[in-house]
Chain A
Amino acid sequence: MSNTDIVLEICGSAGEGTISSGEIFNRYISSIDFEIMSFDTYPSEIRGFGKCVAHSRFSTQKIFTPGKYTDILIALNDAHSISQLGHLKDTGVVIYDSKPPKYHEEDKSIVGWMEPGMISYGIPFNDLAQKAAGNSRGRNMVALGAVCALFGVDHEEFKNTIIQRYAKKKQIVIDNNVNSFVEGYNWANDNLTKIDSISFKKGKNKNEKESIIINGNQAVAKAAIDSELHLYAGYPITPATKIMEILSHELPKKNGIMLQTEDEISAIGNVLGAGFAGKRSMTATSGPGFALMTEFMGLSVMAQIPAVIVNSQRGGPSTGLPTKTEQSDFNAAVNGGTGDLPRFVIAPASVEECYDGTTLAFYLAEKYQTLVVILLDFFLSNSIRNIDEPTPPTEKMLNSNIAPNEKELKDYVRFKETKTGVSPRSIPGTPNGMYTTTGLENNERGKPQYDGKLHTKMSDMRYRKLNSALNDVPKPKWTGPKKDIDVGILSWGSSAGAAYEAATIANKNGHRVAVLSSLVVFPVNEVDLTKFCNESKQILIPELNYSGQYANFIASYINRPVERLNMVSGLPMASEDVLSKIDEMIAS
């Protein structure tokens, strides 16, 4: 079977059912075994009105990026959709409402702006929805019906997906949606002559494993619940709010607590309080909130209290670009705060890794009694995938606190020096496990003490924990050739997907391109890094920030020049971007 790899976008105004039709489409397309990667754009969540885009890439192949260029654009709203034409392929298809209630003024209609070579199919969304349900709410379903007719989709199966989606609604809602869908399907079958060559009848062969459709934020929330999170404290902020929203429903079911605090300082304070009490706790925020948390981050490290902070990055600095994606909090995550603050920084590259990274974060925070920052970004938080049901954390991961044994409790020394740097931690309430702790430098028993010798010893212990953890975290992922690499890409976070895809294409074109990316970006696994760089003639570091934060950071480890690809367009990195940089590097 030939490969299918298609990008479909639905664009409409808030309230037109854009996102819900995208969701139904994804559910269906996932059920016929396509790999999907989807990304919804809402109007700025703060302002509330305006343009929505449900962007879906689906493929018979493994995919890592949402795709830069669109094959099919469904325009539920002409004015909003016109700007989406900018990334419609030269032979892309537009499906639009051919009978809106009144004429568009000149240049206000999507069809008017289509480039020659693009194909348009006009469907009377409005009329057909009215016919089906007596109102125009089902326009989105009419459009989906037309999509099924045009691209060879089994409409009966699709209909079932609609029914399932609205199963909890009143029968009339289900009927109106289904009837609108059927109207669209029949009308397109009877009236349209297909002139494009796109078809997506079915995906790859059935996978035995159950798959779920989930976005990055949902994966984090799910992983947190599975990791036996007890307290979530947070203050809402785009793009992290969804994590809080989900946990507000889910945590109480598990006897957990969701606390909306007055600000981010309070949120992290609560997290540390629960952490001190031996309960797993976390907060999620974005750049501006993360900045407020730095004081308490220091306390987490100094007092050796587990804490998990999710920072879903948006365009910055300051309140910046709330609904745009960027990877510009790397410096803040790795270096933020005062004093020497060793912490773990986890940067998932995919929705799957959002889950795995979060379960790992709780494990590390508890075992190494320190701060773990999970770096997501706007794109990853909102990027929707169908993934295999993730593997829940093991018993060992769920109970990772190294508690003092009976002998140690006889004369309990909270910050006792150990080889690994990890001192057994008693949970408050443990008989004989009492101790004091503060944000001040302290001796092994937790008593404040400021002499230089002790500070050196305790700092060393705090850093030693990280180094000893290097064997406890997944090794960096090395994909592509192991030797004689033309371009070695050091990638991190959500732009790694673009790097994998670009490398795959470059290798098909006869080059030797490899990618090294690590779920844990700090501390650095220098062994693998050095080996990778030694095998690479040139090094490329693509990232979504202006100054090349990761490139600057890694330079001190590898001590050689690197090529950079920095973008701050607010969009996720695309494989095309990385590929053209690779080509440029190889040609030079």
Chain B
Amino acid sequence: MSAKDHFIIIGNGPAGNNAAEVLRENDKKARISIISTESFSFYYRHRLKDFISGRIPAEDLVVKHYSEYKDKNIRLRLGQFVEKIDPEKKILYLKHMEKINYTKLIIATGGSPRILPSLTIFQDYLTMFSTYSDTVGLRHRIEKAKEIVVLGGDLTSFSFVKSLVKACKKVSFLLFNDAFWPISLTSEMILKIEENLKSHNVATFFNDSVEMIKKSKSKYTIETKQNNKIKSDIIISLMGMIPNIRFILGSSIDTDRGVLVDAYLRTNFKDIYAAGDCAQIYNPILKNYWVSIGWMNAEEQGKIAALNLLGDSKIIEPPKEEIFEYEGIKVNTSWWKKF
């Protein structure tokens, strides 16, 4: 590779960072840039819940400090959003109105909070979070709040509730078991979860759903189908993630739910790869696409995409490890069964 190469990685999560590391290890000369919307350093998303509930300071979220990028001559462009890709001309168009040329590209843009269609009319009343900046203001609001309702539709919601309880909040939990992400909960699981939440003094509403949300002053009232009325200072909706690929649509890079890639993590364009939560990967044996979630999967995919970009031919295997664990229930999240 030559110094004229400019490898760009979109996304500063585990996939993007691992890709950048591998690229630099194997190519000392090329320009390497990471572009990411978020202004905060590379951090552990799963610790956000503890940060929100005031249990850890922001420093404890950080995986990697800025100086480490400088040391490796990786240019970190934070707070910058890629709005459009022109894969023919190999140009990225950034929201702040800059054009950047790349020679090879890795898309590692992760996902954003999903909102259930049935809840979109109440969107303004719901608080969602998946990034550090989402949580900065929220931390303050949670600190002041006494009663909190969690609309739980994903695995994160359980551990988040636990974190709130530890912070001495009065918590109510509405389980969306028929729209749960990324797996379908078995009735055995649901029972265990309910039992567990109750033992932590969480008010549970398990076979119910939201009928109406009203707001008066700064207080919300949720009216459920089963005529329950739950009062709350904040309503937090945790319903899983959808891949951040909107900016790619229309670029002629193939997408479905995520960016479509082959087992080498290559897109339909020769020099463009995708890795992590945003990728939808072809499995030659199953002859179907799979989408992975989870930190470790993202790390692994980042590495493989980078190696292949440099000329290797590594195939990504759907991981066998169990990534999420909740009170003894282990879930293999390598398959994204539902949106």
Chain A positions near chain B (C-beta within 8 angstroms): 96-100, 102-109, 111-112, 114-120, 122, 193-195
Contacts and interface: CB of A to CB of B under 8 A. Distances in A.
Contacts of A106: 98-101
Nearest to A106: B100
B26 interface: no
Given A109-B98, A116-B76, 13 more contacts: A104-B99, A105-B98, A107-B98, A109-B94, A111-B98, A112-B96, A114-B77, A115-B66, A116-B69, A117-B39, A118-B79, A122-B95, A195-B39
Contact of B137 (A97, A102, A193): A193
A193 B133 CA distance: 8
Given A116-B41, A116-B66, A193-B133, A109 B76 contact: no
A578 to B, nearest CB: 28
Contacts of B93: 103
Contacts of B77: 111-112, 114
Interface string B61-79: 0000010010000001111
Contacts of B79: 111, 114, 118-120
26 contacts: A97-B97, A98-B95, A98-B96, A100-B97, A103-B98, A108-B98, A109-B94, A109-B96, A111-B79, A111-B94, A112-B77, A112-B80, A112-B94, A112-B96, A114-B77, A114-B79, A115-B66, A116-B39, A116-B78, A117-B41, A117-B78, A118-B79, A119-B39, A119-B79, A194-B137, A195-B39
Given A111-B79, A112-B77, A120-B79, A195 B97 contact: no
Interface residues of B, number: 21
Contacts of A99: 97
A96 B96 contact: yes
Given A111-B80, A116-B41, A105 B66 contact: no
Contacts of A97: 97
Nearest to B134: A193
B136 interface: yes
B39 A104 contact: no
A116 B77 CA distance: 7
Contacts of B66: 115-117
Interface string B92-136: 011111111100000000000000000000000000000001001
B95 A103 contact: no
Interface in B31-56: 39, 41
Nearest to A119: B39
A122 B78 CA distance: 13
Contacts of A117: 39, 41, 66, 78
B64 to A, nearest CB: 10
Contacts, number: 69
A119 B40 CA distance: 9
A193 B66 CA distance: 23
Interface string B1-27: 000000000000000000000000000
Contacts of A193: 133, 136-137
A112 B39 contact: no
Nearest to A101: B97
Interface in B78-96: 78-80, 93-96
A474 B137 CA distance: 54
Contacts of A120: 39, 79, 96
B133 A111 contact: no
A275 B98 CA distance: 62
Contacts of A115: 66
Contact of A195 (B94, B96, B100, B136): B136
Contact of B97 (A103, A116, A119, A194): A103
A535 B99 CA distance: 62
Contacts of B94: 109, 111-112
A61 B78 CA distance: 34
Interface string B182-217: 000000000000000000000000000000000000
A324 to B, nearest CB: 31
**Most-contacted residue by chain A among B80, B97, B133 (CB, 10 A):** B97
A114 B78 contact: yes
B99 A105 contact: yes
B326 to A, nearest CB: 30
Interface in B148-172: none
B47 to A, nearest CB: 18
B128 to A, nearest CB: 13
Contact of B96 (A105, A107, A116, A122): A122
A98 B97 contact: yes
B39 A103 contact: no
Nearest to B33: A112
Contacts of A119: 39, 79
A108 B101 CA distance: 13
Nearest to A104: B98
A112 B82 CA distance: 12
Contacts of B80: 111-112
A109 B99 CA distance: 9
Interface in B237-266: none
Contacts of A100: 97
Nearest to B41: A116
Nearest to B39: A119
A103 B136 CA distance: 31
A195 B140 CA distance: 13
Nearest to A97: B97
Contacts of A194: 137
A453 to B, nearest CB: 75
Contacts of B41: 116-117
Contacts of A109: 94, 96-98
B98 A112 contact: yes
Contacts of A104: 97-99
Contacts of B136: 193, 195
Contacts of B101: 106
Contacts of B96: 96, 98, 109, 111-112, 120, 122
Contacts of A112: 77, 80, 94, 96, 98, 100
**Most-contacted residue by chain B among A99, A112, A119 (CB, 10 A):** A112
A308 B100 CA distance: 58
A390 B79 CA distance: 47
A121 to B, nearest CB: 9
A541 B21 CA distance: 49
